[in-house]
Amino acid sequence: MGLHVIAGSGPIGSAVAAALLERGEQVTIVTRGVSGPEGTQRIAGDLGGKGGAELLTEAAAGATAIYNCVNPAYHRWATDWPPIADALLLAAERTGAVLAVTGNLYGYGPVSAPMTESTPAGALGTKGKVRNTMTDNAFAAHRAGRVRTFEARGSDYLGGSSMLSMIAFPAWRAGKRALLPGPAGVPHTFTDVRDMAAMLVTGVFDERAHGRIWHVPSGEPTTLGTVIRAAADRLGVPGNVLHLPRWAVYAAGVTDPFVRELRETQHQFRGPFVMDSTAAQQTFGLRPHGFDDSIGFDIARNWAASPAARSTAGA
CATH code, 258: 3.90.25
Within this chain, do residues 76 and 126 fall inside the same structural domain, yes or no?
yes
Q: What Rg, from alpha-carbon coordinates, does the chain have? A: 19
Within this chain, do residues 123 and 166 fall inside the same structural domain, yes or no?
no
Within this chain, do residues 74 and 12 fall inside the same structural domain, yes or no?
yes
Within this chain, do residues 70 and 200 fall inside the same structural domain, yes or no?
yes
Within this chain, do residues 67 and 204 fall inside the same structural domain, yes or no?
yes
In a domain, 311, yes or no: no
In a domain, 312, yes or no: no
In a domain, 307, yes or no: no
In a domain, 198, yes or no: yes
Provide the 10 A C-beta neighbour count for residue 117: 16
Within this chain, do residues 182 and 105 fall inside the same structural domain, yes or no?
no
CA torsion sign for 196, 197, 198, 199 is positive
Question: Residue 187 CA to chain centroid, in angstroms?
Answer: 20
Measured CA to CA, the distance from residue 300 to residue 200 in angstroms comes to 23
Do 137 and 89 contact (CB within 8 A), yes or no? yes
Within this chain, do residues 38 and 135 fall inside the same structural domain, yes or no?
yes
**What is the residue-wise DSSP string for 227-266?**
HHHHHHHHHTS---EEE--HHHHHHHTTT-HHHHHHTTTT
CB environment 219-238: b (16+ within 10 A), e (fewer): bebebbbbbbebbbeebeee
Instruction: Give the per-residue pLDDT at 181.
Output: 85
Do 32 and 181 contact (CB within 8 A), yes or no? no
Do 95 and 60 contact (CB within 8 A), yes or no? yes
In a domain, 241, yes or no: yes
Within this chain, do residues 165 and 28 fall inside the same structural domain, yes or no?
no
Instruction: Give the per-residue pLDDT at 258.
Output: 67
CATH number at residue 32: 3.40.50.720
In a domain, 24, yes or no: yes
Which residue range(s) make up the domain with 236? Answer: 156-190+220-302
Instruction: Give the per-residue pLDDT at 314.
Output: 35
Closest C-alpha to 312, from 275, 272, 267, 260? 260
Q: What is the pTM of this model?
A: 0.93
Within this chain, do residues 146 and 163 fall inside the same structural domain, yes or no?
no
Instruction: Give the per-residue pLDDT at 308.
Output: 41
Instruction: Give the per-residue pLDDT at 251.
Output: 76
CA torsion sign for 260, 228, 104, 8 is positive
Measured CA to CA, the distance from residue 105 to residue 272 in angstroms comes to 13
Instruction: Give the per-residue pLDDT at 35.
Output: 66
Within this chain, do residues 17 and 136 fall inside the same structural domain, yes or no?
yes
Instruction: Give the per-residue pLDDT at 304.
Output: 83
Within this chain, do residues 22 and 61 fall inside the same structural domain, yes or no?
yes
In a domain, 309, yes or no: no
pLDDT beneath 50: ranges in the chain: 306, 308-315
Within this chain, do residues 202 and 255 fall inside the same structural domain, yes or no?
no
Please, what is the average pLDDT of the chain? 91
Tally the C-alpha atoms within 13 A of residue 76's C-alpha that lie toward its C-beta.
10
Q: How many domains does the chain have?
A: 2
Do 162 and 313 contact (CB within 8 A), yes or no? yes
Measured CA to CA, the distance from residue 44 to residue 152 in angstroms comes to 25
Residue 145: CB partners within 8 Å, gap ≥ 6?
none
In a domain, 254, yes or no: yes
